[in-house]
Copies of this chain bind each other. A is one copy, B any other.
Amino acid sequence: MDDQERRSMPLFSIGTVKKLTELTARQIRYYEEHWLITPERTEGNQRLFSFNDVDKLLEIKDYLDKGLNLAGIKLLLNEDTSLKEETTKKEKDLSKTQLRKVLKQELNDAGRYGKTTLRQGELARFFVKY
Contacts and interface: CB of A to CB of B under 8 A. Distances in A.
Contact size range, A: 10 to 19
Q: State the main secondary structure of chain A at its contact with B.
A: mixed
A15 interface: yes
Interface stretch (A6-14, A23-31, A75-83, A91-99): A6-14
Contact of A12 (B6, B12, B129): B12
A64 B16 CA distance: 30
A42 B14 CA distance: 13
Closest CB pairs A-B (n = 8):
A13-B13, A129-B129, A11-B16, A127-B128, A6-B127, A127-B127, A11-B12, A15-B42
Interface of A: 1, 6, 11-13, 15-16, 20, 42, 48, 126-129
